[in-house]
Amino acid sequence: MKVSAPRSLGLLLLLLATPAAAEHPLTVYSRAGAMLYLSDAQTAGGIGGGVGLRATFDERFFLQADVSYLMGVKNVAGLRLGAGLQRRGTYTPAVLLNLSTLVGDRLVFLTPQHPTPAGPALALGVSIAPLRFSHQGTQVSLLELGVGVGTDLPGTGVSWQLGLVEAGVSF
């Protein structure tokens, strides 16, 4: 089953709007970092910042969605949906599974294997955030590293993500 990023974001927002969501803190966060997608058919990405929304369950599990504006290779929007696991307490390192896409301008390479331009750069990957901290509804992450795999049929692509700083407040 193929699920698009806007539909997935809608599903996340629907989950967050349920009555049970009132028991779980929501965090609005801003982030700065870089995303890059490389394949034989296209290159997209850059450096920039964005905003997101995170729902935490039982202080350990979370769902998040964010959007970023990136400049560099070309101007693109980076969309990420993620589900993760974090440590309880003040020091909250995390690992998460991400579905990410880069849409907008990109470098396209027309080859015999790819005679027409490829679609948006979609990738599934894993990220680790070893320097995350939470205290009284405030969250800060100083480093997040991620890698993923995408498909530009008939080949594959590699997605790289680097989060430099992320700060959020729960409500």
pLDDT digits 0-9 by tens, 87-96? 999 999 999 9
CA distances in angstroms from 69 to 31, 40, 65, 75, 160, listed in the order given: 11, 24, 14, 7, 16
pLDDT digits 0-9 by tens, 96-150? 999 999 999 999 888 888 888 888 889 999 999 999 999 999 999 999 999 999 9
pLDDT digits 0-9 by tens, 10-55? 555 555 555 544 467 999 999 999 999 999 999 999 999 999 999 9
* Residue spans per domain, the chain: 5-11+26-112+124-170
d(CA 94, CA 130): 6
Peptide bond into 25 cis (omega under 30): no
d(CA 8, CA 1): 12
Compare 170 and 1 and report the one with higher pLDDT: 170
pLDDT at 11: 53
CA dihedral 5, 125, 30, 43 (to 10 degrees): -80
Cβ proximity of 110 and 117 under 8 Å: yes
pLDDT at 3: 47
pLDDT at 21: 46
| Tokens read off for 66 | 């964010």
5-11+26-112+124-170 CATH choice from 2.40.160.20, 3.90.220.20, 2.40.170.20, 1.20.58.1880 = 2.40.160.20
pLDDT at 10: 59
64: nearest Cα among 79, 77, 49: 79
| Tokens read off for 29 | 């966060």
Compare 5 and 114 and report the one with higher pLDDT: 114
Give one DSSP letter per residue of 136-165, joined into a string.
TTEEEES-EEEEEEEEETTEEEEEEEEEEE
pLDDT at 116: 85
pTM for the full predicted model: 0.83
